[in-house]
Amino acid sequence: MSHIPHLINGERVAGTGRTAPVFNPSTGDSTAAVGLADRATLQLAIDAAKAAFPAWRNTPAAKRAQIMFRFKQLLEQNENEIAALISAEHGKTIEDAIGELKRGIENVEFACAAPEILKGEYSRNVGPNIDAWTDLQPVGVVAGITPFNFPAMVPLWMYPLAIVCGNCFILKPSERDPSSTLFIAELLNQAGLPKGVLNVVNGDKDAVDGLIEAPEVKALSFVGSTPIAEYIYSEGTKRGKRVQALGGAKNHAVLMPDADLDNAVSALMGAAYGSCGERCMAISVAVCVGDQIADALVEKIVPQIQALKIGAGTSCGLDMGPLVTAAARDKVKGYIDAGVAQGAKLVVDGRDLVVPGNENGFFVGGTLFDQVTPDMTIYTDEIFGPVLCIVRVGSLEQAMQLINDHEYGNGTCIFTRDGEAARLFCDEIEVGMVGVNVPLPVPVSYHSFGGWKRSLFGDLHAYGPDGVRFYTRKKAITQRWPARKSHEAAQFAFPSNG
């Protein structure tokens, strides 16, 4: 069995002590062991980042960008190997893994614009012989804690931008599928990144707490569940750190009576069942405005759910692979049990799916509930599995109230041909990312990603312009060079340019 190491100061470090098994979700076999860092190992990474920071912060932005250009090229050249690593440890299909990587590369492309995005503002003669400008300076040693469901993309949301802004970075990836994350980080070192600027430390809660407690770590980025996001935000901010912590979601798709139903069904299939529903932007609730559209949706979508091609994620041409762990599979099945017990109508049941040749894999088939009500746990909770719930309401206003009342506000969408309805929805819905006839409204890299309510803790969203703001500190500088041989008396009133 192979051992997955840490990456500290540009070198692989085996680490000592505790390990965790890494599984192939398609077979159920344990394929590797990953070391779980103790505080001493974590401190090695912190020390390496701290030592690298003075030289890196003074490296010209254009030179940092050149490294990112080479990194982007290496990512594209190694696309197939990265996708295979993702699929082998996460379970998502090869095609889905490639799509994940491509979205991550978009963020590297944005980071390549470092000379442009780090330009400050300048004003000449704000007063007599006085000029003023702002300077975007790096925060220092920063850290990211990333989830299992996007082992390539979510880290690429964070460290490329943090690094081109002049920071040094410590990444704590998910211990469930760390191999692709480590491989990608090594590609950045191959691109010419100096030692210590990026460090990867595998671990569990002990490593997370170490990053929170370390005074050298000035900022924390996190993506994961809401309870952990709230914990990291609370513990980090009370220690004076910057924190952006992205949490859970319960994303609704509203189907209006005038929706293009064929296209809406195709969109829902991908949004609900793609990546086995293990996406924070997955659509897990279809809110149908009127029984007519709900009945038509059920009629059209059931055959497509039953026809899903499900198998080992490492195979090509599939729609869906397994869930990431046996515990995740059992949790999803438990939610389906609860939905039945609480009175929802189970239209398609994925609990008994068996994949020939992969009988021990962590599979759950596509599942559909109808007649779901807001008091049911399959509605209130983030299931994080291939389960779509249909809720029936009488009006757009009722649909919007349903969404606005939910504790999460990550993503939502509306399917309609009515521009007035779409505009009202976009204006009044209390959700951070909204799609109109777009089921997964994930912003492109030059915008920013983040939800509202209990889907985000912190003032700034991830990547894009907000990412630049998060990973830099703005310094305002006012400078005066008096004319020679001039002398002014002391001024005791508060200065102004009046």
The residues annotated as belonging to the active site are 280
312: which residues sit within 8 A by CB, 6+ positions away? 26, 27, 318, 321, 322, 355, 357, 358, 361
Q: Which value, in Å, is the radius of gyration of the alpha carbons in the chain?
A: 25
